[in-house]
Amino acid sequence: MLKSISVLLTALLLAPLAAPNAVWGGLHAAEPISLPLWETSPPGLVANAAPETTQNGITTFNVSVPGMKVYLPKKSNGMAVVYCSGGSYRSVSHLSDAVGNAEFFDSQGIALIVVKYRTQPPSRGYDAALMDARRAMRLTRHHAPEWGVDPARIGMLGGSAGAHLILRVATGEHGGQPEAQDPVERESCRPAFAGLLCPWPGTNKAGDFSITNETPPMFLCSARDDTVAPTAFAEGIARACEKVGTQSRLWIIEKGGHRSFRLGVQGEGAQWAGRFTEWLKSLPFSQLQTSANKP
């Protein structure tokens, strides 16, 4: 269905971004909402950055102005997933439908929020991307009542560098700023859960992440023949969770490489989405099959 409206998606991407305080009642996954992460210039904006470029309509480079696309399900169960794609922090991919995930999560009653975070270049390092991912969580939580989402049931999902970014969000500072003039900044950015598909370590080791008993539950997938994101890193994160009593589930497959965990691909890794939603049902807040639409 999403493919059939590619012209509409292109028009939405080129159109002016919608005001963040708009009300979106009645929209669903076939009509994504494009939003800026900040109403004004984002912190750390690189002046005179080169324009964005997109290859094959899939991969975008030189992201200097972050945003997000919101896919609201036809019938909400109150849960939302904030999605961060991979790309080694040099690009972001599949912004139109998050590698086909929008239709799947719509069928599960889950809202999908696809983050277009800043890349290097033009940014230096990964901190701009971290600010963007945190802001996307806060913005989703801020709009939760309008979107039929329970603020306590907003999690994150991503692959490769996107999983690395989510790890930084999940294991870092979460608290909002109660006195902030911007109401969005008063919200917590803590995800209720984290789905990490072929998590890429970058220059880090598992022990570099501060995993405590307050770290959100984690679902990890890895392929043993993945030479980009070694299984040992995912295993290290899972062991750290087990050590402190944080709920986690690690699924390892033998073959499939770094692109194993995508919908529609051949191989065992294509089962990740079903396994992920089954795991969500095991979480105490889930109620995945219960409609929680708000008028």
Name the CATH superfamily for 3-19+28-282: Alpha/Beta hydrolase fold, catalytic domain (3.40.50.1820)
Report the pLDDT value the prediction gives residue 263, as an integer from 0 to 100: 80
Task: Look at the block and give the residue holding tokens 């051949």.
Answer: 266
For the purposes of burial, counting CB atoms within 10 Å of the CB of 128, is it exposed (0-12), middle (13-18) or buried (19 or more)? buried
Report the pLDDT value the prediction gives residue 27, as an integer from 0 to 100: 45
Q: pTM for the full model?
A: 0.86
Report the pLDDT value the prediction gives residue 262, as an integer from 0 to 100: 85
**pLDDT at residue 158 greater than cutoff 70:** yes
| Low-confidence winner among 156-165, 194-203, 229-238, 259-268 (lowest mean pLDDT) | 259-268
Alpha helix segments (H runs only) across the chain: 6-14, 101-107, 127-147, 161-170, 231-244, 272-282
Report the pLDDT value the prediction gives residue 18, as an integer from 0 to 100: 35
pLDDT tier at 86, thresholds 50, 70, 90:
very high
What are 97-136's pLDDT values in tens digits?
Answer: 676 788 899 999 999 999 999 999 999 999 999 999 999 9
Identify whether the C-beta of residue 221 lies closer than 8 Å to the C-beta of residue 196.
yes
Identify whether the C-beta of residue 201 lies closer than 8 Å to the C-beta of residue 233.
yes
